Amino acid sequence: MIALIGKKLGMSQLFLENGDVIPVSLIEAGPCPIVQIKNKNPDGYAAVQLGFGTRKRINKPLAGHIKKAKLKSVGRLFEIRVNSPDKYKVGDKIDASIFNNGDMISVAGWTKGRGFTGGVKRWGWHGGPASHGSMAHRRIGSAGPGTSPGRIWKNKTMPGRYGNERVTIKNLKIVKIEKNIVYVRGAVPGANNGYLLLMKEEK
């Protein structure tokens, strides 16, 4: 797996040579320094830990952890599983040059958090009668069986926390790369300035 940490800058559009207009997401991808390398012995799996961005304050354990990579601050850390970690070195930087125009990638991110919501917004319930006096316009109503089994079935759609979940969108096409800005066709999860993970299968 080849991957890069990025930040969602927003959405725009591009005009193709034939005049078609396509929607694109702009992602600031890298550069990502390698902070740590893990091997099957003794860690149990092979992975590369990447860093991205900066933050105003970091604690001492994190400062000591990133010191080997000659970093003073890091905004986000991600581990990427790799087939052969030997070809990577701590301190090396990976940038958008690992991708090419036309590459198909997967983008993982965290959806916008919407807090505690009702079932109409969370699950698309149709709701109750809209007429005066029904008193059940958006209420939950009956939740499940009474005597048997005397409990709510598992996976029943209910009100609750909505959003702030990790979502992966597969088969997104890279349309254009400008320095460290990657133009991806279509939408990617999360709000602007949110962290993303751009992944491409290793050949």
Residue 84: per-residue pLDDT: 79
Residues 3-50 have pLDDT tens digits of 899 999 999 999 988 888 999 999 998 788 888 888 888 888 888 999
Q: Which domains can be identified in the chain, with CATH numbers? A: 2-113+168-200 (2.40.30.10), 114-162 (4.10.960.10)
203: pLDDT strictly greater than 70? no
1: pLDDT strictly greater than 70? no
Residue 22 vs residues 14, 58, 157, 170: alpha-carbon distances, Å: 5, 40, 35, 18
Hey, what amino acid is at 89? K
Backbone angles phi, psi at 101, to 5 degrees: -60, 135
Residues 52-71 have pLDDT tens digits of 988 888 899 888 888 888 88
Greater confidence, 121 or 1?
Answer: 121
Start-to-end C-alpha separation, the chain? 8
Residues 101-156 have pLDDT tens digits of 888 999 999 999 999 999 999 999 999 999 999 999 999 888 888 888 888 999 99
Residue 65: per-residue pLDDT: 87
For residues 31 and 196, what is the distance between their CA atoms, to the nearest angstrom? 13
Residue 73: per-residue pLDDT: 87
Hey, what amino acid is at 77? L
pTM of this prediction?
0.80
